[in-house]
Amino acid sequence: MEKLLIEPTRSSPRIRFDGQAHLLEVTGESYPEDAAMFYRPVFEWLTRYLEGLAAGVEVRVKLDVNYFNSSTSKIFMDLFELLDDHVRAGKTIVAEWISHEENDMGIEFGEEFQECVTDLPIHVVTRA
């Protein structure tokens, strides 16, 4: 499956989804004017990828987004929900919510997202 690469802008994050390495990364800031439109290709790619994902393969999803708007928070919850559904269906997916160690609020956001899922493990990881 082809990689999904979206370069970052001032208001949108870098998207790097590598189906071969089974590594999905979202990095930067996210407050696009139309969050739904920006993330539409992301969900399309992810849905196709997860449907074709073989059992037993571990997928790592990393989100390192230090600023995001309310629309993006809804998108992220949808993303975690989609992943959560697939974990329940037997896929192996591990998510990481990455935040700077001094960004207490960023860490709290990761904990909030943990409450939205039942089966997907979301690890809150801090970086220096």
Partner 1 sequence: MEREGIFGKEEGFLKEARAFLNEEREREIAVCGNTFCPKPHLDTYEGLLSRYDALLTGYEKLQRKLGVMMRISDKQQLKINNTNQELTEAKEQLERRNEFIRNIFGRYVSDDVVDSLLDSPEGLSLGGEKRDVTILMSDLRGFSAISDSYSPESVMGMLNIYLDEMTEVIESHHGTIDAFIGDGILVMFGAPVAMSDHPQRAVACAVGMQLAMERVNRRNVAAGYPEIAMGIGINSGSVVVGNIGSARRSKYTMIGMNVVHASRIESYTIGGQVLISSETRERCGEVLAIRRELQVIPKGYKEAITIHEVAGIGAPYGLHLPTPAGVDCCLLSSPVPVCFAVVHDKQVEHWLTDGEIVGTGKNLVFLRSERELESLVNLRLLLTGEEGSGLEVLAKVQDRVDSGCQVYRVAITHASTEAEGFLAQLQGG
Cβ nearer to partner 1, comparing 1 with 36:
36
CA atoms within 13 A on the CB side of 98: 15
- Both tokens of 40, joined, read 């539409």
CB proximity list for 89: less than 8 A, separation 6 or greater: none
Cβ at position 100, least distance to partner 1 in Å: 13
What is the closest distance, in whole angstroms, from the C-beta atom of residue 26 to partner 1 in the complex?
Answer: 16
Contact footprint for partner 1 (CB under 8 A): 35-36, 40, 43, 47, 69-71, 73-75, 77-78, 81, 105, 108-109, 112-113, 115-116
Three-state DSSP at 38 gives helix
